[in-house]
């Protein structure tokens, strides 16, 4: 569709600019109130094209708003998905604040997929069979909108606030431990700031992968082999600031540590 003044592609380019420069922006619904959720997923797709043209590689998907608590905190009542590219992955133990606006971090479980997952009727068994390994992860979300304030349409268009992510050095068999029982704690500067269990993610992180496949199927897409999937926050996200030291423990799956500069 064409909005009053901007095409969906132009809106994607605008969001891309704010993602790269780390300058916050007005909600897109403030100038284009007629945009639908379907349109905003199209904006995401255009955004992905911008990233790929810059040389980024598509490496996966993120699920967001996978807990009732998180949905309530942002006034949205359904899970959403976003797209991951290689330049979003942090390979050191430092989260650089360059290009970020008001970052928050949250612990997640990542699935790495080895066989195509396609359809809206998948079972947990289908997902386990198609999973190569799982990894503890920390997602950095950073809404490009002023004051982290948005509607469902805005946040989907902004790639579900996705910005950076850490994966643990160690991968685990998907059968290593029941992920719904996994206890996760997040410490900022030595103080425990969040704790939660894996069941916060739609009852079990595997259900998030099923839901992603279903949502993608409805727009003619599937999860391809090799893709990384961030399944959703196990706890609330916490703000991070220059000089912070973060430690996130994932029970028998180890921990992720990083500082913020």
* Contact residues: ligand 0L1, CB under 6 A: 64-65, 70, 74, 139, 141, 143, 155, 160-161, 232-233
| Contact (Cβ atoms closer than 8 angstroms) between residue 182 and residue 203 | no
Sheet strands (E) in 172-251: 183-188, 191-197, 228-230, 238-239, 245-249
Nearer to ligand 0L1, 46 or 144 (CB): 144
Closest CB 70 distance from Mg ion, rounded Å: 8
Using the contact rule CB under 5 A, the part of the chain among 35-43, 72-80, 136-144, 243-251 near Mg ion is 136-144
Phi/psi of residue 22, nearest 5 degrees: 70, 30
∠ CA(118), CA(140), CA(217), 5° rounding? 15
Nearer to ligand 0L1, 71 or 86 (CB): 71
Nearer to ligand 0L1, 126 or 142 (CB): 142
∠ CA(250), CA(252), CA(255), 5° rounding? 40
Closest CB 107 distance from ligand 0L1, rounded Å: 11
Closest CB 82 distance from Mg ion, rounded Å: 9
Q: Which does 160 bind (CB under 5 to 8 A by kind): Mg ion, ligand 0L1, none?
A: ligand 0L1
Please, what's the b/e burial string for 66-81 (b: 16 or more CB within 10 A of its CB; e: otherwise)? bbeebbeebebeebbb
Nearer to ligand 0L1, 70 or 188 (CB): 70
| Contact (Cβ atoms closer than 8 angstroms) between residue 234 and residue 184 | yes
**Residue nearest to Mg ion according to CB distances in the complex:** 139
Check residue 233 for interaction with Mg ion (CB under 5 A).
yes
Closest CB 232 distance from ligand 0L1, rounded Å: 6
Check residue 139 for interaction with Mg ion (CB under 5 A).
yes
Q: Which of 78, 81, 139 is nearest to 110 (CA)?
A: 139
Q: Which does 43 bind (CB under 5 to 8 A by kind): Mg ion, ligand 0L1, none?
A: none
Nearer to ligand 0L1, 160 or 213 (CB): 160
Q: Which of 30, 38, 42 is nearest to 4 (CA)?
A: 30
Query: What are 49's two structure tokens?
Result: 């094209």
Nearer to Mg ion, 8 or 166 (CB): 166
Closest CB 95 distance from ligand 0L1, rounded Å: 16
Closest CB 231 distance from Mg ion, rounded Å: 8
* C-alpha distances out from residue 257 to 32, 68, 119, 230, 248, Å: 41, 27, 36, 18, 6
Residues making contact with Mg ion (CB under 5 A):
139, 233
């Amino acid at each position: 569709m064409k909005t009053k003044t901007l095409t969906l592609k132009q809106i994607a380019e605008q969001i891309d600019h704010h993602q790269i420069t780390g300058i916050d922006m007005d909600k897109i619904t403030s100038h284009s109130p007629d945009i639908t959720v379907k349109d905003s997923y199209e904006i995401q797709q255009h955004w992905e094209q911008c990233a790929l043209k810059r040389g980024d590689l598509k490496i996966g998907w993120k699920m967001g708003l996978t807990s009732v608590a998180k949905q309530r905190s942002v006034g949205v009542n359904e899970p959403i998905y976003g797209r991951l590219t290689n330049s979003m992955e942090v390979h050191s133990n430092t989260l650089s604040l360059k290009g970020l606006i008001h970052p928050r971090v949250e612990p997640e479980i990542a699935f790495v997929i080895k066989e195509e997952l396609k359809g809206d009727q998948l079972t947990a068994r289908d997902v386990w069979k198609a999973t190569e390994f799982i990894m503890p992860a920390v997602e950095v979300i950073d809404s490009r909108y002023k004051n982290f304030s948005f509607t469902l349409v805005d946040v989907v268009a902004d790639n579900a606030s996705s910005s950076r992510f850490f994966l643990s050095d160690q991968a685990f068999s998907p059968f290593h431990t029941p992920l719904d029982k996994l206890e996760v704690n997040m410490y900022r500067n030595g103080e425990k700031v969040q704790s939660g269990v894996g069941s916060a993610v739609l009852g079990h992180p595997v259900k998030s992968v099923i839901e992603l496949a279903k949502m993608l199927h409805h727009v003619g897409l599937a999860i391809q082999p090799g893709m990384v999937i961030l399944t959703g926050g196990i706890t609330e996200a916490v703000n991070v600031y220059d000089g912070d030291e973060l430690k996130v423990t994932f029970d028998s799956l180890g921990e992720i540590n990083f500082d913020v500069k």
